[in-house]
Structure formats: C-alpha cells, structure tokens
Amino acid sequence: MKLSVIIPTYNESATIETLLKKVLAVPIHKEIIVVDDGSQDNTALLLKPFVDAKSVKYFRHEKNQGKGSAIKTAIRHLTGNVVIIQDADLEYDPEDYNKLIDPIIQQKAQVVYGSRFLNKSNKHSYMRFYLGGIFVSFIANILYHQKLTDEPTCYKVFDAAFLKSIPLKCERFEFCPEITAKIAKKGIRIREIPINYYPRSIKEGKKINWKDGLEAIWTLIKYRFIE
C-alpha cells in the first residue's frame, strides 16, 4: 500500500509548513505531491527544504488555474495505489488518514469521503458555509441516489486506478461535484467516515465563496441531465 497525498496550494504560506510536518508525521507509506498553483507569496521558498530533502514532489503552475487544475496535474504524476486530497490549510486533520483509507485497503470501498457533519463535536465557522454544505449534499443525494452528509468535504479518498479512470474537466472548486457525479453515475455508493474539522476564517485565507456554491449545484445538475 502506498498513499498519494495530493496538496493543491495557492498562497498558503501561513500554513503550508505546519501542514507538511503534520502529513509527514502520519505513520503510513506515502508520497506527498504539492501542486503550487502560481502562488505569489513565499510558498515556493517555504517548500524548498521539503523538496530538497525529497520528502515532497513539487509541481508548479506558472499561472493560477484553480484547485481542480492542480488536482488534475497531481493525478498525472501520482504513483500510489490509494489517493487522498489534502488542502494546504489546517482545517482538516491528517491523523484521520488511517481510518479513511482502511475501507479501501480492505477492498470494502473504492471511494471514501470524510464527513465533518458525522462528527458532532466539530464546530462550523460561518452559518452560510454550514447551510451551503448541507444544501449541496442534499442536492447530490437527490440527483445521484447517495446518502451523503458532507459532499463538499476536502477529504476524498480513492483507489488510485479508479480515480485515474475518471476523465475530469474541472478547473476550480467544481472538482468536488464533478467527481461525486461521475462516481455516482458508475453506480458506486460513496462511503462516509466521521472526521475532525477546524474551520478557518476568510481573514485567515479561506478562498471558497458563495459563487463556488452555486457553481457546485450547477455542476451537479449539468452532469445529471446535460453531459
């Protein structure tokens, strides 16, 4: 078993070092793939020691293209047999990796999502993100016959061969609804496991906004009825 940790990164110099240390500390055989999506802060400089020590594989987009594009770049280069998406902030907890990958290693699931809502002790920062997340999950469940509590979660875990078999068009945050739609259309039931969540504020660098919520819903509708 080798886990590929994909980290799409855009201007996260405040958290990237701490995050990488946390990911490196998880006792799993793994590779870490950071795709620096044209960051204009000192993200590249902070990453250099990790790249020099060969603890991180580094790819850079010269121009900012969005989280989905960064994930697609990483998918082309990954060599593990299980894959997890890891944001470059500290909202999620790498100590959850083991329980998330377990159903895939046991061959009981091809896809596992980490649910922030199934863990009742989690806090949620903004009411609109909280309700937005619930609403997007609700629409995904209706359109695709799933039972998800947290569709837009960052922690999405895949069997690597399966992930590579899915063609992706997304460029920005539509990665989540596109992959959910395409998995569900294959008749796969997405498994959920409770995870920890430590929300950050917009001031602390949160980049997703209400337009991304609308785009998520449009993406779910598009892949259900149009494409």
Ligand X SMILES: Nc1nc2c(ncn2[C@@H]2O[C@H](COP(=O)(O)OP(=O)(O)O)[C@@H](O)[C@H]2O)c(=O)[nH]1
User: Would you tell me which residues interact with ligand X (CB under 6 A)?
Assistant: 8-10, 12, 35, 37, 64, 66-67, 70, 87-89, 91, 154, 206-208
227 contact partners, CB below 8 Å, separation of at least 6? none
By beta-carbon proximity to Mg ion, the closer residue of 91 and 151 is: 91
Q: Output the CA angle 108-159-177, nearest 5 degrees.
A: 100
Q: Which is nearer to ligand X, 154 or 160 (CB)?
A: 154
Give whichever of 58 and 189 is closer to ligand X, judged by the CB atom: 58
Length of the chain: 227
Least separation, in Å, of the C-beta of 87 and Mg ion?
4
Q: Examine residue 91 and tell whether it contacts Mg ion (CB under 5 A).
A: yes
Task: Work out the end-to-end distance of the chain between its first and last CA atoms, rounded to an integer number of angstroms.
Answer: 35
Per-residue CA distances from 110 to 29, 119, 152, 183 (Å) = 19, 22, 18, 10
The partner in contact with residue 37, picked from Mg ion, ligand X, none with C-beta cut-offs of 5 to 8 angstroms by kind, is: ligand X
Query: Which stretch in 2-10, 34-42, 87-95, 173-181 sits in contact with Mg ion by CB under 5 A?
Result: 87-95
- Asked if 89 is part of the footprint of Mg ion (rule: CB under 5 A), the reply reads yes
**Contact at 8 Å (CB) between 151 and 140?**
yes
User: Tokens standing for 85?
Assistant: 């998406």
Q: Which is nearer to ligand X, 126 or 145 (CB)?
A: 126
150 binds, among Mg ion, ligand X, none (CB under 5 to 8 A by kind): none
